[in-house]
Homo-oligomer: A and B are copies of this chain.
Amino acid sequence: MSLARPSRFVDQDRLWRRHEELARFGATARGGVNRQALSPEDAAARLQLVDWARPLGLTAKSDAVGNLFLVLKGRDAALSPVLSGSHIDSQPTGGRFDGAYGVLAALEAVEALLAAGLRPRRSIEVVAWMNEEGSRYAPGMMGSAAFAGARSLADILAVRDADGVSVEAALACMPSFPPVDLPRPVHAYVEAHIEQGPVLEREGFPVGIVTGIQGKRTYRVTVTGEEAHAGTAPRGERRDALFAAMDIVSALRRLTDDPEGLVRFTVGAFTVRPNAPSVVPSSVVFSIDLRHYDAGILASLGDRVETVCETNAGVCHVAVEELSRADPKSFPVSMRDRIRAAAGALGIPHRDLPSAAGHDAGYLHLACETGMIFVPCRDGVSHREDEWAEPAALADGARVLTETLAGLADCAP
């Protein structure tokens, strides 16, 4: 590759500026981003991506679940495309890099390939998957799940947000582009992302080659008691949904308390009704997010969730729904070797590491040869407004991505 390497056309300043500009859509007062899936902010951010892509000759398309594709046509229309991207929706108090980086790095890679005078044999598509975060519509990774055929379109369209707005209704508010099939064949997928953990920063590696993704099971638990007056109802006669929910969560904390600290058990959403100071709560709905690298441990803990809830609900009623289940995944060695070789050729220090967070790449892994490139983020922090990554690290990741895509799409002058 030497002098002909397209990655030398990766422009660190342009890539950084685009992060800043994309962060305007849903910007929070404290420097973060609140860009919910299929919101007006999401729509505006999509139009911004298309604005950047059009002068490069890319064509915007979208499929029935609202994934956005920016297509660089390949020389051979009969071949399935290479995809690269991530998502542009965020957590309610999210940052500028989680998701956005993967989309902007893929766009930067395509721009570098074109600047190097290369044309791919396979089409390269920059993709922004619909609703990765799952905070407006649970569970997340809707777009990539539908693309990989892991979840039906009809199921996804019927999901409603807290205000009762369905995915179908929200999709109708998004800018429309020429349609493309869902699902459809794909040759390979590479996703760049901030690590969301402390390893690369702590050990000084600008790039990580992701070996696989932690497995994850999610649940919604509904505890139902009975409203009562805070002044009159004696404790023994109450059916207090909040106290029952707390007893259940305590038992789940004991269940998941491993000495190694490898189990990830989170109750992130917890909503009490009627939520009035002088009324004994009648219901609590809470989320469970359970993750582990080991498929056996994840299966065994996850299978006990419902029983633990039921045996600790006391005088209240409890209902447990499993919302999603993703077993731990290993990306193919062939792809990891390809990314490692690209980093090595560029002289960029790198190490292998697993992903603790879930990613759209987990679903694409079901559909094609898939890999991920990590870059460090400050203090390993993400899903927070002060999430941060260094411009140089973002550019290094984009360079490795550029070389990887050049090979996968068989680029030539």
Could you list which residues of chain A lie within 8 angstroms of chain B, going by C-beta atoms? 91-93, 133-135, 138-140, 196-197, 214, 216, 218, 227-236, 240, 242-243, 246, 249-250, 253, 257, 261-272, 274-282, 287, 289, 291, 355-358, 380-384
- CB pair B287 A266 closer than 8 Å: no
A230 CA to B214 CA, complexed, in Å: 12
- CB pair B230 A277 closer than 8 Å: no
Note all chain B residues with C-beta closer than 8 A to A382: 229, 232
Q: List 19 other contacts, CB 8 Å, given A227-B384, A228-B384, A279-B383.
A: A91-B276, A91-B279, A92-B274, A92-B275, A93-B282, A133-B278, A229-B381, A230-B266, A230-B291, A231-B289, A235-B263, A236-B261, A243-B249, A243-B253, A246-B246, A269-B276, A270-B281, A277-B287, A278-B289
Note all chain B residues with C-beta closer than 8 A to A276: 91-92, 133, 135, 268-269, 383
- CB pair B357 A232 closer than 8 Å: yes
- CB pair B287 A270 closer than 8 Å: no
Query: Given A133-B278, A229-B357, do A265 and B383 touch, yes or no (CB 8 Å)?
Result: no
- CB pair A266 B250 closer than 8 Å: no
A35 CA to B226 CA, complexed, in Å: 21
| Minimum Cβ distance to chain B for residue A144 (Å) | 16
Note all chain B residues with C-beta closer than 8 A to A267: 242-243, 281
| Minimum Cβ distance to chain B for residue A105 (Å) | 20
- CB pair B197 A227 closer than 8 Å: no
Tell me whether chain A's interface is mostly helix, strand or loop, or mixed: loop
| Minimum Cβ distance to chain B for residue A84 (Å) | 22
| Minimum Cβ distance to chain B for residue A156 (Å) | 17
- CB pair A268 B281 closer than 8 Å: yes
Query: Given A227-B384, A242-B267, A266-B230, do A261 and B278 touch, yes or no (CB 8 Å)?
Result: no
Which residue of chain B has its CB nearest to the CB of A195?
A: B232
- Selected A-B contacts with CB under 8 Å, 10 pairs: A93-B274, A227-B384, A229-B356, A232-B380, A234-B261, A235-B264, A236-B261, A242-B270, A267-B281, A269-B276
A218 CA to B271 CA, complexed, in Å: 21
Which residue of chain B has its CB nearest to the CB of A291?
A: B231
Which residue of chain B has its CB nearest to the CB of A257?
A: B235
Query: Given A93-B227, A271-B275, A275-B271, do A235 and B265 touch, yes or no (CB 8 Å)?
Result: yes
Which residue of chain B has its CB nearest to the CB of A237?
A: B261
- CB pair B230 A289 closer than 8 Å: yes
Point out the residue from B268, B278, B282 that lies within 8 Å of A278, measured CB to CB. B268
Q: Pick the most buried of A216, A230, A270, A291: most chain B CB atoms within 10 A of its CB.
A: A230
